Amino acid sequence: GSAMLLLGLSYMVLVYLNLGVPEVRFFMPGVVCCCIPIAGCAARIPKARLLLIGLAVAAVLQSAAVLHKTYSLRHLPDGIKAAVAFLETDPPVPNKVFMYPEGSYRFFSCAHTWYLGGRLKDFWRADNDQRLELLRRNGVGAVVVKKHLVGPIDKEMKNLGVYPDFFIQDIEDDPRFTKALENEDVTIYRLPASGQAAQ
């Protein structure tokens, strides 16, 4: 039992140290290893039936939270629907967008990229000239900003699931990023043709 607990805890510590800010799913193998010995100890607790009832209630509440999150990820807000329709009728050239690939990405008719071949942190740290060059090399014709993901980012840039607020300000101030669509959920910026990318 203690060996399984040590294995699970060691795994989770190694995941945290190597991935920085991993998602919960990366810890699951370690959680399973920890649950087995914990369950053995819990069975010996007096009035274990009350503990089981509490765990069952927690499981039901967690299921409700998961169903709500699943619905929110699959439900398309009107602003996202408008962006999907806009890019379908008026696709960028080239027909690929820079966009965070959460649930709604599969509804867009154009291809998308986010990590830019592992250079996303370089992209955030760059100036607009370098950003345009990196987007051009990745075949991107437009930037799709999901407004609920805009926010501050730490200096180490561990959270790669946000559009840094300074990036939005940079492209707002640069006339080479042409605002093609804006609504309550999304802003779409078209990029200049490759020959116009440099100032």
Strands 150-151 and 111-113: unpaired
pLDDT digits (tens, 9 = 90+) for 86-105: 999 999 999 999 999 887 78
Residue 21 has a pLDDT of 61
Residue 36 has a pLDDT of 83
- DSSP per position, 84-99: HHHHHHS--SSSEEE-
Q: Is the pLDDT of residue 199 over 60?
A: no
pLDDT digits (tens, 9 = 90+) for 143-190: 999 999 999 998 888 888 999 999 999 999 999 999 999 999 999 999
